[in-house]
Amino acid sequence: MPSLSLNRVPRRVILIQLLVVLGLVAYYQLYLPHRARVLARRAGATREEKITALFQDAVVQDSKHEISVPLEGAIVKRHPQRLRIVFSPREAENELGVPDAVTNDFRGGYHLTWLGTTHKLEASFNAGRLYGLSLEDRTTGHGVLVYESLSLWHPY
């Protein structure tokens, strides 16, 4: 029975095996991390679109009234906003996915927070019913609080 020695193995076979190993290393070290970043960016953009769409669907502007509000050092006129639709925490989670933060307040209020790429949405519930939405720009920290009543609306 002939023994297999390194001298008898053709160099071509060794070269092919090295190329396969290098290809696998490149795939696992370069392509897979790149693909994960691309998928994370897409997921972030999709979540941002869902946050914006939910806020726009849930809020209505009162074009008949104007309120003077301070904005970036000046007093400007804005139309107040109020909630158009009221939904439950389960409906919000079905629409936006699992929230990034869940908090309870001392009165039994339930607050869900979703983070997008540029916005943060906080939905506040009392007894399972939405009573307020907060949409904040994550880059500037400015946003708007919207409640069921027009008189409670204000930007920050």
Q: Is the pLDDT of residue 4 over 70?
A: no
Other CB atoms within 10 Å distance of the CB of residue 136: 19
pLDDT band for position 156 (cuts 50, 70, 90)? low
C-alpha 131/C-alpha 125 separation (Å) is 6
The pLDDT tens digits of the residues spanning 125-144 come to 988 888 889 999 988 888 88
Phi/psi of residue 97, nearest 5 degrees: 95, -170
Domain ranges of the chain: 11-155
pLDDT of residue 149 exceeding 60: yes
Across the chain, what does the average pLDDT equal? 84
Query: For position 3, what pLDDT does the model report?
Result: 57
Asked whether the beta carbons of 144 and 153 are under 8 A apart, the reply is yes
- Sign of CA pseudo-dihedral 122, 123, 124, 127: negative
Task: Give residue 64's pLDDT.
Answer: 77
> How large a percentage of the chain has pLDDT more than 70?
87
What average pLDDT does the segment 55-69 reach? 80
Rg of the Cα atoms in the chain: 27
37, pLDDT greater than 60: yes
**In this predicted structure, what is the pLDDT of residue 36?**
93
